[in-house]
């Protein structure tokens, strides 16, 4: 057990020289090799590792304390995974080695626990988690421990890495790199697939032609479930490479029985798609009456169902536009009954509620509320529904009432500020905005508009983040200006500002707009667009110090808010657009897959309002 001047034992020298005979001789004579197994693994000396394990399996081997060669707490399995050595990992697994994590006991915040001890326990726990995660993310370890590299358990590991990155912000870059490493490895495997049969073998399903019968649909349901799982974990790199392959690109499934929708001249193809979509009431009725017939099952095809849903939304938009154009004073009075277009709108709203309920039931709560576009759908449906309730209240209050028999002659200028009819119109104005955004979500399938929509979504996130910071800045200046000008919005201030023969117009002009926090926030917001008059800060030559401070606050606000922060927002949005443009193909195909999977899994078949009829 002697060592030389370099602190190397005879067994370590034999390992470094790949001398297997000397290793066996030393081990037979019980020569102690405390770190010999670790050195053999580090040098990728497979024969030496096997020889050492035969003499002593060293299942509980672990580096304890300080070491000039290895990290504290590292195990043979972790070290082999670090080196990405499949053969050594397989050998260690054969002799009973496995990855174990021994987390410290729960932290105690009692008076007997010092801050230093608590910090040390946290650091040790974080280091051990990092070692385990790095080992499990090794391609060699994934290949050994998982039957296939596309197994859903690997996405559980990716999800775990993302969770750690969110919890341990100090090491988020480390976990993000491991996540990228795992996804890149899976992409490399998928890139080796050369045929549909190989893909079927990899994903473990029977490669058979797809038909409209339920048994065939169940055979392909596993692929859809797997794809949904990828979308759930936001595995954009994996989806990109899978989309290049025949089946998971959805070209194989999406156009299986409708090749005419992707062939021919673009104008003829577009006209055919519009024609098929316009006939969605016919396809829906036939599906209800004879779902097993060829015509009845036609709407169940993903491409046909998609075109029908688009045309349903477009028709709903035209109904809303027609409702706005057809308004007239003669039919727009208190207690007026609904028009024909308003009845159609009600029917569509009911159908959309049914569609959202079906989608939520088929996808599950977590998956449904994980799609941000569903929040837009629910929001505009709630606005429409509440607006309809107020219209019903208006009709109930005034229709047929003798007291309001002449309500048709009541001018709109004489209506109460909070009439149910006025409240309904206000809700509908916002509902129209969100219903038009619904059409934006359907452009994800378009090759030209899809990437732009992805960029827009990223920019909206930037705007929300920016508003959090900008709101604090605006509120800070609003507090300062309110504290400075609160007196000049009171009646007592008019005695000072409007005295000495000052005209009424000048008196109104000198009324301070920053007399309260609400008024200050409102004026500062419109100041961003130049709608503020500096003259309102003037105090008629009185209290000049207050006037100077007020002008300096407004000037500073313009510099900070308009020159600095708005340009920062533009830079953030430009960065998001560039990031999306760099990965345009990946981003677009990922979001397109997320949209198409709804129609491929037949979560929604008939569009509104034809879905109000029970399913066959």
Non-local (6+) Cβ contacts of 16 within 8 A are: 8, 39, 43
Please give the sequence-ordered ranges of beta strands (E in DSSP) within 477-609, or none if there are none: none
CA atoms 179, 181, 182, 183: torsion sign: positive
Task: Tell me the C-alpha to C-alpha distance, in Å, between residue 383 and each of 83, 420, 426.
Answer: 58, 14, 10
1-145 in CATH: which number? 1.25.40.20
Whether pLDDT at 240 is above 50: no
Beta-bridged to residue 3, according to DSSP, are 9
Q: Which range among 1-10, 104-113, 278-287 has the greatest average pLDDT?
A: 278-287
Please write the tens of the pLDDT for every residue from 481-499.
888 888 777 666 666 666 5
pLDDT of residue 251: 46
Token readout for 80 is 């082999």
Higher local confidence (pLDDT), 196 or 428? 428
Burial of 166 (0-12, 13-18, 19+ CB in 10 A): exposed
Apex 484 CA angle, 479 and 488, nearest 5: 120
Please write the tens of the pLDDT for every residue from 535-562.
777 776 677 788 888 889 988 988 888 8
Instruction: Kindly calculate the radius of gyration of the chain based on its CA atoms and give it in whole angstroms.
Output: 35
CA atoms 49, 52, 58, 61: torsion sign: negative
Kind and range of the H or E run holding 162: helix 152-167
Boundaries of every domain in the chain: 1-145, 146-249, 293-445+598-612, 461-582
Task: Tell me the C-alpha to C-alpha distance, in Å, between residue 192 and each of 138, 195, 411.
Answer: 19, 9, 74
Contact 236, 590 (CB under 8 A): yes
Phi, psi of 9 (to 5 degrees): -85, 170
Measure the CA–CA gap between 281 and 189, rounded to whole angstroms: 45
Predicted confidence band of residue 388 (pLDDT cuts 50, 70, 90) = very high
Measure the CA–CA gap between 530 and 526, rounded to whole angstroms: 7
Contact 394, 386 (CB under 8 A): no
Contact 15, 36 (CB under 8 A): yes
Predicted confidence band of residue 316 (pLDDT cuts 50, 70, 90) = very high
Predicted confidence band of residue 385 (pLDDT cuts 50, 70, 90) = very high
Long-range contacts of 90-93 (CB under 8 A, 24+ apart): 90/144, 91/46, 91/49, 91/50, 91/53, 92/49, 92/53, 93/144, 93/145
Token readout for 573 is 């949005």
């Amino acid at each position: 057990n002697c060592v030389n001047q370099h602190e190397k034992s005879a067994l370590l020298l034999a390992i470094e020289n790949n001398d297997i005979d000397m290793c066996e001789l030393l081990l037979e004579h019980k020569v102690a090799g405390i770190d010999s197994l670790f050195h053999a693994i580090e040098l990728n000396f497979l024969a030496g590792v096997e020889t050492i394990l035969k003499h002593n399996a060293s299942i509980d081997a672990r580096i304890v304390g300080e070491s000039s060669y290895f990290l504290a707490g590292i195990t043979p399995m972790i070290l082999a995974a670090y080196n990405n050595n499949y053969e050594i990992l397989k050998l260690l697994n054969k002799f009973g080695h496995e990855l174990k994590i021994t987390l410290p006991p729960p932290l105690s915040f009692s008076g007997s626990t010092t801050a230093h001890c608590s910090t040390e326990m946290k650091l040790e726990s974080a280091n051990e988690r990092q070692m385990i995660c790095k080992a499990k993310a090794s391609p060699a370890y994934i290949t050994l421990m998982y039957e296939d590299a596309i197994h859903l358990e690997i996405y559980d590991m990716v999800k775990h890495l993302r969770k750690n990155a969110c919890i341990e912000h100090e090491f988020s870059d480390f976990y993000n790199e491991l996540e990228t490493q795992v996804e890149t490895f899976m992409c490399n495997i998928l890139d080796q697939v050369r045929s549909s049969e190989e893909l079927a073998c990899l994903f473990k399903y029977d490669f058979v032609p797809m038909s409209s019968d339920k048994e065939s649909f169940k055979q392909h349901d596993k692929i859809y479930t797997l794809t949904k799982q990828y979308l759930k974990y936001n595995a954009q790199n994996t989806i990109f490479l899978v989309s290049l392959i025949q089946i998971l690109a959805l070209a194989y499934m999406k156009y299986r029985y409708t090749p005419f929708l992707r062939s021919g001249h673009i104008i003829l193809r577009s006209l055919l798609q519009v024609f098929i979509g316009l006939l969605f009431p016919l396809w829906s009725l036939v599906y209800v009456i004879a779902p097993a017939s060829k015509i009845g099952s036609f709407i169940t095809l993903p491409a046909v169902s998609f075109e029908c849903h688009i045309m349903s939304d477009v028709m709903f938009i035209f109904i809303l536009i027609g409702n706005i154009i057809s308004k007239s004073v003669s039919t727009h009075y208190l207690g007026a009954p609904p028009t024909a277009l308003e009845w159609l709108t009600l029917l569509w709203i009911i159908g959309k509620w049914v569609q959202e309920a079906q989608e939520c039931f088929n996808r599950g709560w977590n998956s449904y509320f994980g799609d941000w576009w569903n929040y837009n759908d629910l929001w505009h449906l709630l606005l429409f529904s509440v607006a309809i309730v107020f219209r019903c209240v208006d009709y109930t209050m005034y229709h047929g009432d003798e007291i309001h028999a002449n309500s048709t002659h009541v001018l709109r200028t004489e209506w109460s500020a909070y009439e149910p009819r006025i409240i309904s119109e206000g809700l509908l104005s916002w509902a129209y905005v969100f219903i038009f955004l619904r059409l934006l979500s359907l452009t994800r399938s378009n090759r030209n508009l899809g990437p732009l929509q992805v960029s827009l979504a990223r920019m909206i996130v930037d705007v929300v983040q920016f508003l959090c910071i900008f709101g604090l800045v605006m509120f800070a200046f609003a507090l300062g200006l309110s504290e400075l000008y609160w007196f000049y919005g009171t009646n007592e201030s008019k005695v000072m500002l409007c005295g000495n023969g000052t005209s009424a117009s000048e008196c109104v002009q000198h009324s301070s707009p920053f007399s309260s926090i609400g008024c200050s926030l409102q004026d500062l917001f419109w100041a961003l667009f130049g709608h503020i008059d500096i003259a309102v800060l003037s105090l008629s030559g009185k209290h000049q110090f207050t006037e100077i401070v007020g002008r300096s606050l407004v000037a500073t606000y313009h510099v900070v808010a308009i020159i600095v922060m708005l340009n920062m927002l533009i830079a953030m949005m430009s960065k998001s657009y560039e990031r999306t443009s760099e990965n345009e193909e990946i981003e677009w195909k990922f979001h397109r897959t997320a949209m198409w999977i709804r129609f491929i899994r037949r979560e929604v078949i008939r569009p509104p309002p034809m879905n109000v009829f029970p399913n066959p």
